[in-house]
Amino acid sequence: MSLTFSPALVTVEHPHDIHDQIPAQVLALADSTAQATQPIDVEVTVLKDEDTFVVTGWARTTLQLRCGRDGELFPQSVRATVEHIFEAPHPAQIDLTPFIREDILLEIPLNALCKLKAGNRCPITDEVIKPRKESTETIVPKDVWAELSKLEPSKPKARKTKPKK
């Protein structure tokens, strides 16, 4: 199933509201770090401005993401703002599905972390998570600059040329 609208049915006086769901399979998330099991709820309004269509609204779903701290899957709500402009010429049907898919995927955190319960306990495993020690030390060894200074850049060799007559 895809989410489409017909430009012929949208007028300046009558914007088109879409309240629908897209199946989770559209996201194509079936790997070990993220899984889509819930449908995507979509609420958008299509406005017409001369020959341009403006689609605004939101899309939201709940994904199963792998926690970067403990490695367990946890539910994460994802809400994306939908804002797209379609300029003329227009096909008979405009499919919003790939645009909404992209909006949702861009909202997935790069390093998902489950929200800890009281006492720094993981909500899935109930394990106590100890915070990492912060350090003010640099990760670059102190002697790195001395080692780099030992390297000499190669000098280009001068070429002899004959003067032009």
| pTM assigned to the model | 0.70
- Domain-by-domain residue ranges, the chain? 4-106
Closest CA to 44 of 10, 82, 72, 76: 82
Q: Which residue has the higher pLDDT, 57 or 12?
A: 57
pLDDT, one tens digit per residue, over 95-122 is: 999 999 999 999 999 888 888 878 878 8
Q: What are phi and psi of 64, to 5 degrees?
A: -100, 115
Higher-confidence position of 114 and 134: 114
d(CA 81, CA 44): 10
Q: Which residues of 131-150 are buried (b: 16+ CB within 10 A; e: fewer)?
A: eeeeeeeeeeeeeeeeeeee
